[in-house]
Amino acid sequence: MKEATSKTASQARSRRVNVRTPDVMERVQAEVAEHYRSEVVDKLRSRHEGLTIGNTTVRLTKQFGFCYGVERAIDLAYATRNVFADNDVYLIGEIIHNQEVNRQLAEMGVCPLPGDSAVDEIEKLGPDDVVIVPAFGADTPTMKKIQERGCHVIDTTCGDVMSVWKRVRKYAKDGRTSIIHGKSSHEETRATASRAEGKDGKGNYLVILTLDECDYVCDYIRSGKGDKVAFLKRFTGGYSADFDPDLHLSRIGVANQTTMLKSETEEMQRRLEVAICDRDEALGKSEKDNFQVFDTICGATQERQDALFEMLENQPDVLFVVGGYNSSNTSHLVEIGEKELPTFFIREADCLKSLEEVLHFDLHQREEVSSYSEVLLGDDPVVVGITAGASCPNNLIEDTILKVFKLRGIDGDLVRSSS
């Protein structure tokens, strides 16, 4: 990291680079496959009845693991390292929410610029430095800083995320406040929120996460005015600088983080629309333009949720959901599972400590805990369901499959030859 002495910040302009040339991609794909591929998972993917050895069956959902956006982001990050072998390569935060993938990139010399200090660190970059923008994108102040430093930029932002940006920019242009269903601290939502401010920075947004928060906003909309101070306190960190609930809830447009639970997003959209209609009817207003919605759940998130619902029609005895604890789409798979059966959110196979003890992330306590379950114990037949979030590589899923069989006394070689 060297200071950009040859150009002033205002003269410098970032350079977007295409690193996906055919020869580079050939090398990169071999490397990516070596790090993340699994033959066991590839074979099991097409066996919807699962793999049964002795009294143990493991079933995978029809859709799981890496989505197209994550695959592309990883390919681009590997290609960047390949093309810029002699340059310093930086990554804004994490490429995706999976510690194994981020660890591999760090080992390859890709240096993370941690979220909170990214803007300060970017100040120190020069024109020879390379910055990778992760799959969730980055907020506009960060992108502006990178542009000013004149570095090479490899932007891996997923196309599905960019279509949300397009929608909220349109809301801002139309003078509509964006209501974003998402987590205000999530990188993608921060990036989307910054676009909701519009090109002139005058647009407004409000981020809501839960149905309780949605109901609170709906009550405020219906009543016309309420306790503004309490409102702003409740949503601290989740609204634009000029947002005023007394002014900016009159015309709204709803969007969402791409990885939310689809059923919850739809329910929020419905409640907000009803609240706007109730208010307008009470005021005798006839215009129908105060509410707009655009469903921005991405196809990959939806497919993984649908596939889990399908697996639950023929329920296994226990479900392991593999993925990074900070992964939004993975958390929602856990939420779906835990309503129906014993469900454990694990980051890797080593979380299966024994036939009884599982180290897992508890979504309610928001921490990793040990739990004890008797599901895997004994000689009775047991069916284990496994799914994984969009940021989980197949090698971690394979490790989990092998660990389940190993705990049940079945050797890995036998699993490989039987799959």
Residues that bind ligand SF4 (CB under 6 A): 67-70, 135, 158, 160-161, 258-259, 298, 300-301, 329, 390
Closest chain position to ligand SF4 (CB) = 69
CB of 257 to ligand SF4, least distance (A): 9
Nearer to ligand SF4, 97 or 408 (CB): 97
Question: Which residue, chain included where needed, has tokens 């009470």?
Answer: 282
Catalytic residue among 187, 188, 197, 348: 188
Count of Cβ atoms closer than 10 Å to residue 317 Cβ: 16
Nearer to ligand SF4, 62 or 406 (CB): 62
Nearer to ligand SF4, 151 or 161 (CB): 161
Question: Which residue, chain included where needed, has tokens 């949300």?
Answer: 164
CB of 96 to ligand SF4, least distance (A): 7
In the chain, the amino acid numbered 2 is K
CB of 321 to ligand SF4, least distance (A): 15
Give the single-character DSSP code of 115. G
Active-site residue, 264 included = no
Task: Tell me which residue of 183, 164, 173, 154 sits closest to 328, measured CA to CA.
Answer: 183
Residue 252, strand partner residues = 177, 291
CB of 51 to ligand SF4, least distance (A): 27
User: CA–CA separation, 309 vs 60, rounded Å?
Assistant: 12
Task: Tell me which residue of 168, 326, 345 sits closest to 259, measured CA to CA.
Answer: 326
Torsion of CA 400, 404, 407, 409, to 10 degrees: -120
CB of 334 to ligand SF4, least distance (A): 16
Give the single-character DSSP code of 210. S
Residue 57: HSE in the Cβ half-sphere, 13 Å Cα cutoff: 16
What is the C-alpha R_g of the chain?
23
Catalytic positions are 188
